Amino acid sequence: MSLTDELAAERAALQMINPAPYNAEAPAAALATEITPTEFHYVRSNFPLPEHDGTLQIGGAVQTPITLTLDDLRAMPAHEAAVTLECAGNGRPAMRPLPTGEPWGDYAVSTARWKGVYLHEVLAQTSPSATGVDVRFEGADHGPYHLNPVLADTDRNNLTFVRALPLVQALDPNAEMLIAYEMNGEPLGQDHGAPFRLVVPHWYAVASVKWLKRIDVLTEPYAGEFQTGHYMYEWPDRPPEPVDIMRVRARMTTPAAGSTIAAGSHAVRGKAWSGAGPVVRVDVSLTGAGEWYAAKLEPPSGPYQWQDWSFDWEATDVGRHTVRVRATDAAGNVQPEVPPWNRLGYGNNAIEVVYVDVI
Ligand X SMILES: Nc1nc2c(c(=O)[nH]1)N[C@H]1C(S)=C(S)[C@@H](COP(=O)(O)O)O[C@H]1N2
What residues line the site for ligand X (CB under 6 A)?
A: 41-47, 85, 87, 139, 141, 161, 191-192, 205-206, 208-211
The reply on whether position 245 binds Mo ion by CB under 5 A is no
**Could you tell me the smallest distance in angstroms from the CB atom of residue 14 to ligand X?**
10
Task: Give the SS3 label for residue 337.
Answer: coil
CB 79 within 8 A of CB 118: yes
**Could you tell me the smallest distance in angstroms from the CB atom of residue 141 to ligand X?**
5
* Cα 30 to Cα 253: distance, rounded to the nearest angstrom: 9
* Cα 245 to Cα 125: distance, rounded to the nearest angstrom: 27
**Could you tell me the smallest distance in angstroms from the CB atom of residue 206 to ligand X?**
4
How many other CB atoms are found less than 10 A from the CB of residue 36? 25
Residue 91: DSSP 8-state = T
Nearer to Mo ion, 101 or 128 (CB): 101
**104 binds, options Mo ion, ligand X, none, Cβ within 5 to 8 A by partner type:** none
The reply on whether position 206 binds Mo ion by CB under 5 A is yes
**Could you tell me the smallest distance in angstroms from the CB atom of residue 355 to ligand X?**
28
Stretch that binds Mo ion, among 92-100, 199-207, 252-260, 293-301 (CB under 5 A): 199-207
**Could you tell me the smallest distance in angstroms from the CB atom of residue 22 to Mo ion?**
13
Phi first, then psi: what are they for 173, rounded to 5°? -60, -30
With CB under 5 A, what is the number of residues at the site for Mo ion? Answer: 3
- CA dihedral in degrees (54, 154, 88, 231; nearest 10)? 120
Nearer to ligand X, 44 or 214 (CB): 44
The reply on whether position 87 binds Mo ion by CB under 5 A is yes
**225 binds, options Mo ion, ligand X, none, Cβ within 5 to 8 A by partner type:** none
Nearer to ligand X, 108 or 358 (CB): 108
Burial class (CB in 10 A: 0-12, 13-18, 19+), 221: exposed
CB 199 within 8 A of CB 184: no
CB 217 within 8 A of CB 132: yes
Q: Which residues bind Mo ion (CB under 5 A)?
A: 44, 87, 206
